[in-house]
Amino acid sequence: MDNDATLLLDLDGVSVHRVELLEDGGRRVHLTTADSSARACPACGVFATRSKGRALTRPRDLPYGERGMEFFWHKRRWWCGEPACPRKSFTESLPQIPAGARITERLRAAAGRRVRDAGSTVIQAARDLHLSWSTVMAAFTVQAREVTGAPLPEVRVLGIDETRRGRTKWEQDAETGKWRLVRDRWHTGFVDALGAGGLLGQVEGRTTADVLAWLSTTELTWRKNITHVAIDMSATYRAAIRTGLPDAIVVVDHFHIVQLANKMLSTVRRRTTAELRGRRGRATDPE
């Protein structure tokens, strides 16, 4: 049934049967199944023909309009017609509204994207979409996998730098009484230094082993494309590159060179002032 309300709702697999205006101004949308594949038995895939009666589910969807909108999906239960099938009966389900789901898949996806792409916190997305924190977090985890699981963009110049993140956490071993590092405040970030690939990865720690561990997760063909690696003047990163990317040329990030040059200039200026005048620079005469 392809009526205007169905077109407006645009939710795959269902038709709008009628819309009821509630006392509080909200709307109750009565849905019926429009996709015949909902009749396919989830166990054997055979289309059922013998109805076992009706069932009602109330999945929640994306917010629409200023006042609430609720769904009543009037769906069918079916007897499976395949004699060899272990499943005797089942209730209709759709890709957008799987069996047992209390929210539509497009609402779930929207929740995950708010956190992944729009910079929303999990708690804010949960408030905006009237979902629980755990539902949004689970949706975000699924959405994030699309990005983290995607192949890395081709990179010619790899940038490696340390980032301070949070606090170091130590934990005391109850038996030996020794303290050990459980969370390093230093992370190592990997960026596409010349192209538009942005942040490629970030790992905890800043040792040679930390860098090598991340490099080992990348494809050999991807590593072969890297001609240069930009780092600060860190001996550990340099050692990691010599092992992990032996063909790449190490270059020093210009930011770090300027920083070091400025520092050296200040040292020389202070030393010269002290030698010539026997004193430090003054506020009125900073040399």
Characterize the bridge pairing of strands 228-231 and 179-183.
unpaired
Counting runs of H as helices and runs of E as strands, what totals does the chain give?
8, 12
Q: Which is nearer to Zn ion, 71 or 78 (CB)?
A: 78
Of the candidate spans 81-89, 128-136, 226-234, 274-282, the one that interacts with Zn ion by CB under 5 A turns out to be: 81-89
**Distant-in-sequence, close-in-space partners of 60: CB < 8 Å, separation ≥ 6:** 70, 71, 102, 103, 104, 107, 130
Q: For the chain, state the CA radius of gyration.
A: 30
Binding residues for Zn ion, total number by CB under 5 A: 7
Q: Return the exposure string of 169-186: e unless at least 16 CB atoms fall within 10 Å of the residue's CB, then b.
A: eeeeeeeeeeeeeeebee
Tell me which of 12, 35, 82, 204 binds Zn ion, using CB under 5 A. Answer: 82
99 binds Zn ion (CB under 5 A): no
Q: Which is nearer to Zn ion, 62 or 85 (CB)?
A: 85
- Least distance from Zn ion to the Cβ atom of residue 57, Å: 20
Binding string, 179-208, against Zn ion, x = CB under 5 A? ------------------------------
- Least distance from Zn ion to the Cβ atom of residue 51, Å: 15
Q: Which is nearer to Zn ion, 78 or 237 (CB)?
A: 78
Of the candidate spans 17-25, 80-88, 157-165, 244-252, the one that interacts with Zn ion by CB under 5 A turns out to be: 80-88
- Least distance from Zn ion to the Cβ atom of residue 83, Å: 9
Q: Which is nearer to Zn ion, 44 or 157 (CB)?
A: 44
87 binds Zn ion (CB under 5 A): yes
149's tokens: 């699981």
Neighbours of 131 (CB within 10 A): 22
Q: Which is nearer to Zn ion, 85 or 109 (CB)?
A: 85
Q: Which is nearer to Zn ion, 83 or 198 (CB)?
A: 83
- Least distance from Zn ion to the Cβ atom of residue 153, Å: 45
**DSSP one-letter string for 202-234:** EEE--SHHHHHHHHTTS-HHHHHT--EEEE-S-
Identify the CA nearest to 101 among candidates 77, 71, 141: 71
- Rounded Cα gap, residues 73 and 16, in angstroms: 9
Which 24-53 positions form the footprint of Zn ion (CB under 5 A)?
A: 41, 43-44
- Rounded Cα gap, residues 44 and 42, in angstroms: 6
Identify the CA nearest to 34 among candidates 55, 10, 51, 58: 10
Tell me which of 80, 103, 107, 111 binds Zn ion, using CB under 5 A. Answer: 80
85 binds Zn ion (CB under 5 A): yes
- Least distance from Zn ion to the Cβ atom of residue 102, Å: 25
- Rounded Cα gap, residues 191 and 227, in angstroms: 14
Of the candidate spans 76-84, 118-126, 200-208, 270-278, the one that interacts with Zn ion by CB under 5 A turns out to be: 76-84
Q: Which residues bind Zn ion (CB under 5 A)?
A: 41, 43-44, 80, 82, 85, 87
